[in-house]
Structure 1
Amino acid sequence: MNEKRLTRVEDGKVIAGVCAGLARYLGVDATVVRVVFVLLGLFAAGLLIYLILWLIMPAETAA
């Protein structure tokens, strides 16, 4: 069964793999997700959301 899971990824990560994992889950380019977080970061919401996701998203396990 090919189950779609939201995880932090090791390949393509810049800081913690949150944006790359979120991009993989949503099926978009990681650059788009990073730009959204930077724009949200201008209002301090992006940093808070990123830190929360970093804490709650499990790391990708090697299969």
Structure 2
Amino acid sequence: MRKLTKSRDNKMVSGVLAGIAEYFGFDPTILRIIYGAATLIGVGSPFILYIVLAIVIPEAPRTNRSENTGTYGFKPGNNRPEKKEPRKEAEKVKEEDWSDF
């Protein structure tokens, strides 16, 4: 069973609209456009509703993007770079005669 949670990956302010869009299975951009239009038109009070939802809807649980890697792909506690193979030598290019210029 899925739970309605704020998005951690696709958030602009607090992840409420992206979380709602992910829950119902559509693009968050569409919901953001509808929300922006509703705010400009003044239908109801979307700004207050957003604040209430930001308080009420829980954060999504943290998930590892890849095994034990941190934010930038480094493993925690391992600051040494991995050994890489030496670079290959570039092939020599035939020199052209540019003495005319």
TM-score (norm 1): 0.87
Which has more helix, going by share of residues?
A: 1
- SS of residue paired to 1:4: coil
Give the aligned length: 61
Structure 1 moving runs of 4+ over 4 Å? none
Q: List per-residue Cα deviations over 1:38-61 (Å, max 9, x = no partner).
A: 112121621111111101000001
C-alpha distance in 1 between matches for 2:34 and 2:50? 11
Bigger-Rg structure (1/2) = 2
C-alpha distance in 2 between matches for 1:14 and 1:56? 18
Counterpart in the other structure of 2:61: 61
State percent identity of aligned pairs.
30
TM-score (norm 2): 0.56
> Runs of 5+ in structure 1 lacking a partner?
none
Q: List per-residue Cα deviations over 1:14-53 (Å, max 9, x = no partner).
A: 1000011000001110001111111121216211111111
> Runs of 5+ in structure 2 lacking a partner?
64-101
Counterpart in the other structure of 1:34: 32
Larger RCO of the pair (alpha carbons < 8 Å, separation 6+): 1
